[in-house]
Amino acid sequence: MAYQFIRTRRLRNNQQIRNLVAETSLSINKLVYPMFVCPGTHIKRPIESMPGQFQWSVDTLVDEALQIRKLGVPAILLFGIPTHKDLMGSEAYDENGIISQAVRALKSNVDDLLIITDVCLCEYTSHGHCGVYIHGDVENDSTLELLAREALCHAVAGADIIAPSDMMDGRINRIRNILDINGYSNIPIMAYSAKYASAFYGPFREAALSKPQEGDRKSYQIDCRNHREAVRELIIDEQEGADILMVKPALSYLDIIAAAKNICSIPVAAYSVSGEYSMIKAAAMNSWIDERKIVIETHQSILRAGADILITYWAKDIALWLKDNNE
């Protein structure tokens, strides 16, 4: 039998055909925009290591959120910067804390915006760790009670989705229970399930003022050398009641995104983190790369790996680019 000359290029012949047969599609409906809210008024404070990103006071956050919603971005992920920090991170679970203030203001002023709140203690503790810090380590079980209180506080304020990022054992079960008991059984949990101990978080720690004052987070975040460990964490969180699983960071962990998609039955989110953002921004500002093309390519790779939801600091830009393409 003669070898058949197969012309795969037929389906790459023009843009219309390429769009028709594209296997993944970057959609505005997939986007979540991370934002940092701080005390005060009339504040829009640039984050030096993340050009184009800011710390917002509640009033300016509302103004910005209105613009974000007009662009069509459906959701934001809120991180809080407290008025004060202490050993137990008490403002994290204060009903008048910065996140509760922000959520209430957003719900009163911005229609149809999904508000996702990060649940962790690192921004609120004086030592910068994600829980109760004793003798050089985070004490897991006593931290769970504080995280549950924080999650409930956010739900009471009006958060649409709770996103625990602490990586404590058992926290999904504990948070699910306290939400259900208090009448918030319809609030989904987006679990930071495969959160790696990554060097890509550096700029975020400036943005959220959350750098550990001593030690590191390697006793509770995943070792970058491990794949099966992440799979185990993903499975556990699904079993404990998570509604969405997250992989963080995204670009260096595409294999973990693919594993989450293949192994678990619930949606998968991926967080394109601050270090990924800042590297591309720096290269683009030096005219070494085309920012728009690189961002589209990298974000398509995250979707191609299996992500259903994209948490990205480029959400606004992508929304504008997609709008331009449709006009």
Contact predicate 203/47, CB 8 Å:
yes
Q: Which residues are catalytic?
A: 195, 248
Residue 250, C-beta contacts closer than 8 angstroms, at least 6 positions apart: 257, 270, 271, 272, 273, 276, 302, 307
Q: If we measure between CA atoms, which residue out of 28, 78, 9, 19 comes closest to residue 303?
A: 28
Q: Which residues does 155 contact at the CB level (< 8 Å), separation at least 6? A: 162, 179, 182, 184, 187
Phi, psi angles (nearest 5°) of residue 303 = -65, -40
Biggest alpha carbon–alpha carbon distance for the chain: 78
CA dihedral 57, 204, 298, 35 (to 10 degrees): -20
Packing angle of the helix pair 254-263, 291-305 (nearest 10 deg): 30
CA 72/CA 321 separation, integer angstroms = 12
Q: CB–CB of 230/256 below 8 Å?
A: yes
With CA atoms as reference, report the closest residue to 200 among 221, 220, 215.
221
Cα–Cα nearest to 74, from 39, 35, 37, 29: 29
Tell me how far apart the alpha carbons of residues 160 and 163 are, in angstroms, rounded to a whole number.
10
